Amino acid sequence: MNEKKYVIYIILSLVYPIIKLIYYINGFLRMRAILYGLIAGGITICTGIFAIYEYKKEHKGAGKPVGHWLAALIPLMIIVLTPLVMMLEKGSQWLQGERLTVLIIFEVLAIAQFVTAILMFRELIFKRGEDKLMMPGIGFVIMKTVLTVRNIFRKPEKTLRKIGLKKGQIMLDYGCGIGSFTIPASQIVGNNGVIHAVDIHPLAIKTVKKKIKKGAFKNIKTILSSRNTGLPDECVDIVLLYDVLQMIRNKEKLLEEIHRVVKPDGRFFATSEHLDMDEFMNILTKGKLFTLVGQKGKLFEFKKKR
């Protein structure tokens, strides 16, 4: 378990009342503001501790992510309420001089805590089971936001061209999410190619279908499934698992399905994000299924063993 995110969240919870106390000593805040800070700090610290317990409990296959929901919701409320409270207390003077500085500091802290909470939530909700949907609706909404922002910087189309996706090919986008790679892949392969978009979450498939309808894409086929694709044997040129492998519980069964559908001369690409490199390589290359060919950016390239 990566506890750094949880530690950062709790530290930010401590910083919030401490800064308020400093400003109170210097005469910029009232005692009421200190009480608000202590209450908010205490609640978020308890929430962070509960989230750690919840994560460990989740590893045992139980527990709803209530603590993680609260960890994201509380700083979000602080972001909204802080300027409102200052405006009610200070009137037209709330955006003047030092008060504006105070507001900016508190808003930055709350935003940092909210982002940290999303990263904490991400570790929990990006888990997929075979029979039980592990990601709640609110989790998917957060994931959608994170992926939308990530796409601005990572340029999925550039990644797809780097791995050699070409016109007329058939690609399996396993764990397609919001279609970050599905849509640009569809444009690259053209009308003679096909993109199979697979995801366990109904909201993911619904999101991709909306994009298909909006863009009038005719070469994308969605599949709602935890693992089995229902595709014919050896029919796929490229299989893509981008930031997905760590979410899969039964990785061996998944690799067997990928091995079944990929063509003899096809390629399988996966990222090692959130996995120890030795663990990642052991998972992908053990047995008689795949062998490592090379690496293209963050993506490791594998081919079927003969």
pLDDT for 281 equals 92
- What is the C-alpha separation between 280 and 292, in angstroms, rounded? 11
Are the beta carbons of 28 and 102 closer than 8 angstroms?
Answer: yes
Say yes or no to pLDDT of 125 above 90: no
User: What is the average pLDDT value for the chain, to the nearest integer?
Assistant: 83
- What is the C-alpha separation between 239 and 231, in angstroms, rounded? 13
pLDDT tens figures, 181-192 = 999 999 999 999
End-to-end CA distance of the chain, in Å?
36
Say yes or no to pLDDT of 200 above 70: yes
**Of residues 242 and 286, more confidently modeled:** 242
- What is the C-alpha separation between 161 and 185, in angstroms, rounded? 9
- What is the C-alpha separation between 258 and 290, in angstroms, rounded? 10
The type of residue at 154 is R
pLDDT for 133 equals 40
